[in-house]
Amino acid sequence: MFGTNSDDTQSAGAPSSDPAIMPDNPFADSQAPPASEPAAPAMAPSPAPSTDPEPAAAKPPAPADDSLMSLKQSALQSLQPLVSHLDQTPEEKFKTTMMMIQATDNPSLVKEAYEAANQITDEKARAQALLDVVNEINYFTHKDEK
């Protein structure tokens, strides 16, 4: 028992007297060289990748976005007169109308959304729908002020 403790004391004592040799101390050997080397490369690559991908990512989607937006506008124009033919609950009709308002930025649909909101039977859902109508009205009235 005493031999084991003395061996442990010697092995524990030896590394503490020479920390550069001790493998459990990762800072003893690697502290100075890695600190000077990664500092410059870590700073240099960071700005280059963050600057280059943003313009590249912003440029290519523009044509695809333009064609998708054009298709969206065509679909919305075709959908608007057909919405009344959909078999929807008052809540679904309200959500569809709100989607149309937000997608087209058309304030003339707010009255339809208000009417649909008032037909919702669940009081909590109706309250939220009416709040959404008020928020849309605020959006359109503040948009014109700016």
Residue 15 domain flag:
no
Residue 16 domain flag:
no
Residue 129 domain flag:
yes
pLDDT tens string 19-33: 555 555 555 454 444
What's the token pair of residue 71?
A: 């298709």
pLDDT tens string 51-103: 444 444 455 555 668 888 889 888 888 888 888 889 999 999 999 999 999 99
Residue 56 domain flag:
no
Indicate if the pLDDT at residue 125 is higher than 80.
yes
Query: In terms of residue numbers, what domain contains 132?
Result: 72-145
- Which of 4, 6, 2, 28 minimizes the C-alpha distance to 15? 28
Other beta carbons within 10 angstroms of residue 94's beta carbon come to 27
How many separate domains does the chain show?
1
Confidence band, pLDDT 50/70/90 cuts, at residue 144:
low
Residue 40 domain flag:
no
Residue 111 domain flag:
yes
Does this model's pTM top 0.85? My answer is no
